[in-house]
């Protein structure tokens, strides 16, 4: 199972997509959403990678997540695969 973050496919979330790509995640279209995914066990998105506005950064998880949040600060979003 891959680790995935889902964001609405709208221009406002493109900075989140760029931050995910900078963290090594791939992008797949899923209807009205983009799936930002990796087979790696963890991923760390950095807000400063793409100058993401504060409101968009804090809304990054509203589309859903396959995995778990390790930490979510004003600068980083650290995600990991679910463990059994």
**Predicted confidence (pLDDT) at residue 34 exceeds the cutoff of 80:** yes
* Integer Cα distance of 31 and 27 in angstroms: 13
Give the least confident one: 1-5, 9-13, 71-75: 1-5
Helix (H, G, I), strand (E, B) or coil at 14: helix
Give the chain's domain count.
Answer: 1
Domain of 26 in residue numbering reads as 3-80
pLDDT of residue 50: 77
pLDDT of residue 84: 63
**Predicted confidence (pLDDT) at residue 49 exceeds the cutoff of 80:** no
- The kind and range of the H/E element at 69 are strand 68-72
* Average pLDDT of every residue of the chain: 93
Closest CA to 57 of 48, 66, 65: 48
pLDDT of residue 51: 82
Residue 78 DSSP label: E
Binning pLDDT at 50, 70 and 90, where does residue 48 land? Answer: confident
Mean pLDDT of 58-79: 95
């Amino acid at each position: 199972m891959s680790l995935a973050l889902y964001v609405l496919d709208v221009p406002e979330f493109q900075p989140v997509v760029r931050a995910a790509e900078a963290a090594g995640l791939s992008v797949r279209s899923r209807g009205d959403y983009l799936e930002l995914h990796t087979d790696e066990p963890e991923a760390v998105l950095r807000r400063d990678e793409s100058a993401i506005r504060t409101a968009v950064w804090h809304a990054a998880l509203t589309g859903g997540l396959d995995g778990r949040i390790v930490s979510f600060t004003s600068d980083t979003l650290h995600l990991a695969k679910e463990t059994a």
